[in-house]
């Protein structure tokens, strides 16, 4: 899995000038006495793909859920294009500017694939039904599921369902797409078809914040890698994070993906 | 054969009129139970503890009481202690509505709670309001799993209305008894034929409902 360098991808330079699409400032979140996020700062520039890695339970998913407002944050703020959207009651308008795809796809089983994709545009954006359907079919065609438009979600494989879930999120034209371990629930042979779609989206310049355990995928897609552990950012770097981790914790984490036979 | 009396005079018409009373009590009770039960079920899933406790006590009270006791309670109890004189039919509708709403409320609660949190999360992430989420995502799914047991509940209500004759309602079983009493001396086997006819009438009404419930169940597990 390789990805050609994109012409617009110069995030390191852009970071200093442009306002980030998504910015998290000092995000704190606890569940009871368990501090999951202890002051996270993170900015995602337009067109940038940021990959969050870290050991299980380090708060990566929680951070995404806080960013989109599924979890109330205990401290800090979430900014979209420079304006704060993390008030006690985030308005519907701000919510629709971010998209999220979940580990367990969570398509709505009571409607067809096409209706899953057109639901939010027609309901939230009052889009014309025919136009929304046309758009949905185009999105489905792009992920190779044109012929599945009228199928029911439970007749699709996990990989197909996840690709529909991606279309469903894209139908709202999110400024930033959050992907939460989108392949963790998939059989190995389906992982590739989903990640290929995500990779293509990255090449088209979609801004994404991705949580994944697929290290080779992370290496292929990341403009920037952020490692979380113990509720804080441990290390942040370019794709060379994987070859040259700076901190001992990052090195220890990356070693857990390698296999060594004893006595060789 | 000894069953000729069934086709003499107005016997059949009287039985059908009795069946009409049975169905009227059942259907009015069901029609009233549906909105009440849905509201109750939705309230049940709220986090308010007092509300839940009140509903739980109500549901358990209705459940542990034999329907006959509830009928006596409403028909005689309200007359003697509250001075309200309900007709037998009104008392019956009150009892079966209270019962149907409680049972349906519990079914609605179970159906709503069976929907995973991730469905709410998915709708939230798409920007749907909580009202839109409930109307377009949650409720249709809940209805699907709710329909088969609800149809069964209707069958149970129809059958149980036979108790209403004990507070003087002339429904189909009571009519049957009148017919038996009327023909007791001329047709010694009259009771058997009459009860067989009653069984057939109940079967004709309830069997299609049972089939419908099974069909819905098969469909919802698709």
B127 CB neighbours in chain A (<8 A) are 92, 95-96, 120, 124, 172
Query: Is B130 touching A (CB cutoff 8 A)?
Result: no
Six token digits for residue A101: 């795809």
pLDDT value for A23:
92
From first CA to last CA, the distance across chain B in angstroms is: 49
Per CB-CB distance under 8 Å, the chain B contacts of A119 are: 126, 128, 136
Nearest to A251 by CA among A57, A49, A58, A55: A55
The predicted model gives A220-235 an average pLDDT of: 91
Task: Fold for A18-255, please state it.
Answer: Rossmann fold (3.40.50)
Report the share of chain A in percent with pLDDT over 90.
Answer: 48
**What is the pLDDT confidence band of residue A102, given thresholds at 50, 70 and 90?**
very high
pLDDT tens digits for range A127-159: 899 999 999 999 999 999 999 999 999 999 999
Instruction: Say what the pLDDT of residue A227 is.
Output: 92
For B126, which of A104, A154, A168 is closest by C-beta distance?
A168
Q: List own/partner pairs for A59-63 with CB under 8 A and 24 or more apart.
A: A59/A29, A59/A228, A59/A231, A60/A211, A60/A228, A61/A103, A61/A180, A61/A181, A61/A211, A62/A29, A62/A36, A62/A37, A63/A24, A63/A27, A63/A37, A63/A211, A63/A228
Taking the CA of residue B140 and the nearest CA in chain A, the distance in Å comes to: 7
- Domain boundaries in chain A? 18-255
Residue A264 reports pLDDT greater than 70: no
DSSP state of A39: E
Question: CA Rg, chain A, in Å?
Answer: 19
Domain total in chain B: 1
Sheet with A176-180, strands from edge to edge, namely A98-101, A176-180, A208-211, A49-53, A224-229, A232-237
Q: Minimum mean pLDDT among A94-103, B140-149, B180-189: which range?
A: B180-189
d(CA A195, CA A238): 20
- pLDDT at residue A108 greater than cutoff 90: yes
**C-alpha to C-alpha distance for A116 and B141, rounded to whole angstroms:** 14
| Interchain contact A112–B (C-beta under 8 A) | no
Give the DSSP H/E element, type plus range, for residue A233.
strand A232-237
Q: What are the helix and strand counts (H, E) for chain A? A: 9, 10
What string of DSSP letters covers chain B? ---GGGGSTTHHHHHHHHHHHHHHHHHHHHHHHHHHHHHHHHHHTSS-HHHHHHHHHHHHHHHHS-HHHHHHIIIIIHHHHH-----HHHHHHHHHHHHHHHHHHHHHHHHHHTS-HHHHHHHHHTT--HHHHIIIIIHHHHHHHHHHHHHHHHHHHHHHGGGGGGGT---HHHHHHHHHHHHTTT-TTHHHHHHHHHHHHHHHHHHHHHHHHHHHHHHHT-
Residues of A in contact with B119 (CB under 8 A): 106, 108
- How many beta carbons lie within 10 A of that of residue A165, not counting itself? 25
Confidence of residue A165 (pLDDT cuts 50, 70, 90): very high
Chain A, nearest residue to B219 by Cα:
A110
Class of residue B142 by CB neighbours under 10 A (exposed 0-12, middle 13-18, buried 19+) = buried
Stretch A106-110: mean pLDDT, rounded? 92
Instruction: Kindly report the average pLDDT of chain B as a whole number.
Output: 88
DSSP assignment of A185-230 equals TS-HHHHHHHHHHHHHHHHTT--EEEE-S-HHHHHHH-SEEEEEET
What is the distance between the alpha carbons of residues A4 and A203, in angstroms, rounded to a whole number?
Answer: 8
Between residues B187 and A71, which one has the greater pLDDT?
A71
Q: Check residue A3 and give its pLDDT.
A: 60
pLDDT surpassing 70 at residue A72: yes
Q: Where in the sequence is the domain holding B27, given as residue range(s)? A: 4-220
Please count the other Cβ atoms lying within 10 Å of the Cβ belonging to residue A262.
4
- Whichever domain contains B125, its CATH number is 1.10.3720.10
Residues of B within 8 A of A70 (CB-CB) are 121, 124-125
Contacts of A109 in chain B (CB under 8 A): 141
Mean pLDDT of the residues in chain A: 86
ipTM: 0.86
- The residue-averaged pLDDT of A100-122 equals 93
A110 in contact with B, Cβ within 8 Å? yes
**Are A110 and B129 within 8 A, CB to CB?**
no
- Facing residue for A95 by CB, picked from B116, B127, B137: B127
Chain B closest CA to A122's CA: distance in Å?
11
For residue B125, which residues of chain A lie inside 8 Å, CB to CB?
A: 68, 70, 95, 98-100, 102, 169
């Amino acid at each position: 899995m390789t990805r050609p360098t994109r012409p617009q991808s110069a995030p390191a330079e852009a970071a200093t000038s442009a306002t980030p699409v998504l910015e998290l400032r000092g995000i704190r979140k606890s569940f009871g006495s368990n501090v999951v996020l202890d002051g996270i700062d993170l900015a995602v520039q337009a067109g940038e793909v940021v990959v969050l890695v870290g050991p299980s339970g380090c708060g990566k998913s929680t951070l995404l859920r806080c960013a989109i407002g599924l979890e109330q944050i205990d401290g800090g703020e979430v900014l979209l294009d420079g304006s704060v959207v993390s008030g006690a009651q985030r308005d519907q308008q701000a919510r629709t500017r971010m998209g999220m795809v979940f580990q367990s796809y969570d398509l709505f089983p009571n409607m067809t694939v096409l209706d899953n994709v057109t639901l939010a545009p027609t309901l939230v954006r009052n889009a014309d039904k025919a136009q929304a359907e046309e758009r949905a079919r185009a999105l489905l065609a792009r992920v190779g599921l044109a012929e599945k438009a009228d199928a029911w979600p439970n007749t699709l494989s996990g990989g197909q369902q996840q690709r529909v879930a991606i279309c469903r999120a894209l139908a709202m034209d999110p400024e930033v797409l959050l992907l939460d371990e989108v392949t963790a629930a998939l059989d190995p042979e389906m992982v590739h078809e989903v990640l290929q779609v995500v990779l293509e989206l990255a090449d088209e310049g979609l801004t994404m914040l991705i949580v994944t355990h697929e290290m080779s995928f992370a290496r292929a897609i990341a403009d920037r890698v952020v490692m979380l552990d113990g509720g804080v950012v441990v290390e942040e770097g370019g794709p060379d994070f994987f070859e040259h981790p700076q901190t001992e914790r990052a090195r220890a984490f990356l070693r857990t993906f390698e296999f060594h036979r004893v006595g060789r | 054969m000894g069953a000729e009396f069934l086709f003499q005079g107005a016997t059949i018409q009287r039985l059908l009129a009795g069946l009409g009373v049975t169905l009227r009590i059942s259907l009015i009770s069901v029609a009233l139970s549906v909105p009440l039960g849905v509201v109750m079920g939705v309230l049940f899933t709220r986090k308010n503890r007092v509300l839940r406790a009140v509903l739980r006590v109500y549901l358990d009270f209705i459940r542990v009481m034999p329907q006959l006791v509830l009928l006596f309670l409403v028909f005689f109890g309200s007359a003697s202690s509250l001075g309200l004189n309900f007709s037998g039919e009104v008392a019956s509708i009150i009892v079966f509505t209270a019962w149907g709403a409680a049972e349906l409320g519990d079914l609605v609660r179970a159906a709503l709670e069976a929907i995973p949190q991730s469905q709410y999360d998915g709708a939230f992430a798409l920007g749907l309001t909580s009202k839109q989420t409930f109307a377009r995502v949650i409720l249709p799914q809940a209805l699907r799993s709710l329909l088969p047991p609800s149809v069964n509940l209707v069958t149970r209500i129809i059958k149980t209305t036979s108790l209403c004759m004990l507070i003087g309602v002339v429904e189909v079983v009571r009519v049957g008894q009148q017919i038996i009493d009327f023909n007791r001396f001329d047709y010694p086997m009259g009771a058997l034929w009459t009860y067989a006819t009653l069984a057939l009438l109940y079967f004709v009404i309830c069997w299609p409902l049972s089939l419908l419930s099974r069909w819905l169940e098969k469909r919802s597990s698709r």
